[in-house]
Structure 1
Amino acid sequence: MYDILNLYEEYYDSKNPLVCLDEKPKQLLKDKRKSIPMKPGNPEKCDYEYVGNGTANVFMAVEFKAGKGVTQITERRTMKDFAQFVKILVNENYSEAEVIRLLRVISISIRKSHSTKHSAKRKQSGSWTR
């Protein structure tokens, strides 16, 4: 854990950015009944009941020291979707970087969460490796 905290203490380097990644599935909801619009002296009235309307996945990447963030919403949460998100980060958002240090939070059943550190190095062809 202290290794990860030490990463946050490093000075900002645009050629070697530290990018934190996370992903989260979200349930999509819609109202069961229409709300009653507000009128002078009366606030809008909304019912608490809802209807499930499918699911979506949110991929997020944040580079805190640069104040940058990237978000992508997908229908699924597959390894292919994750790989495409990382490819977009490498080729579009961090194309000038020499090494992109990715910090990803992974949830597992034994521990509540722990972090792993990955590095993505640019090749001449524009692809990346870990």
Structure 2
Amino acid sequence: MEQVLAVYQRPYNEQFPVVCVDESPKQLIEIRQYRSADGTRIEDSEYIRHGLGEIYMAFEALAGQRFVEVKDDHTAISWVSVMANLLDGPNETCVRMRVVGDNLSAHKPSAFYRVFSAEKAKNYLDRLEFVYTPKHGSWLDMAEIDLSILQRDCLNRHIATKELLAAEISVWQTKRNQKQAKANWQFTTKEARVRLHKLYPTT
């Protein structure tokens, strides 16, 4: 926990951005609709499932920027693709990108070698520094904050297709980035040692 909090307390440096990454599934559901005799559109209670869309949120809190992708699944290959797209896209010129995220089995640096040649995989990994949240400590990942805002703003309804999901998210992302909406993170290491003192060993 303290390692994550220490990263959050560093001043903004565009050459060494801190990017919080998290993912969340969205069930794709189509609600049956029909028209009554007078032409009124009525939604039926019957629906059709179209699988899942996996939403990957990459949130650079100090810059007020986020980069969201929709993937077909939650696998190591998809995660590597998101990391590579961050380094090739919005953080193309950075020296090293610090990534805060869950320590899941799909989030292993070795997966880069399953996707890219050894040389290219190492080039990516040389520009990445992974900072993992502790077990049961996913709340320390600021990407969760933006995912909850995304859910509230435009995903709190049924969406039928992955294409529509991506389009809705793209519009939301553009508006949030234009506003440079940041996270007001105030939980520090000093406060953690007081409020969570029971978690610390005593001497």
Q: Distance in 2 between matches of 1:53 and 1:101?
A: 35
Query: Could you say which structure has the higher helix fraction?
Result: 2
Q: Which has the higher contact order (CA 8 A, sep 6+)?
A: 2
Q: Distance in 2 between matches of 1:101 and 1:35?
A: 53
Partner of 1:3: 3
Percent pairwise identity: 23
Unaligned runs of at least 5 residues, structure 2: 110-119, 129-203
TM-score if structure 2 supplies the norm length?
A: 0.46
Q: CA RMSD in A?
A: 2.9
Instruction: Give the deviation of 1:13 after TM superposition.
Output: 0.6
Match 2:123 to one of 100, 119, 127: 127
Partner of 1:33: 33
Aligned to 2:100, the other structure's residue is in SS state strand
Please list the CA deviations of residues 67-94 of structure 1 after superposition, one character each: whole Å capped at 9, or x if unmatched.
1100111122221111111111011111
Please list the CA deviations of residues 12-59 of structure 1 after superposition, one character each: whole Å capped at 9, or x if unmatched.
1111100001112221011133589xxxxxxx9755553322111111
Q: How many residues align?
A: 109
Aligned to 1:53, the other structure's residue is in SS state strand
TM-score if structure 1 supplies the norm length?
A: 0.69
Q: Distance in 1 between matches of 2:56 and 2:34?
A: 31
Does the C-alpha gap of structure 1 residues 33 and 50 become closer, same or farther in structure 2, counting only changes over 3 Å? Answer: same
Residue 56 (structure 1) aligned with residue 53 (structure 2): yes
Instruction: Give the deviation of 1:106 after TM superposition.
Output: 4.1
Unaligned runs of at least 5 residues, structure 1: 37-43, 109-115, 119-124
Query: Could you say which structure has the higher strand fraction?
Result: 1
Q: Distance in 1 between matches of 2:82 and 2:32?
A: 34
Say whether the 8 Å CA contact 1:26–1:58 is kept in structure 2. Answer: yes
Q: Which runs of 4 or more aligned residues in structure 1 lie more than 3 Å from their structure 2 counterparts after TM superposition?
A: 33-36, 44-50
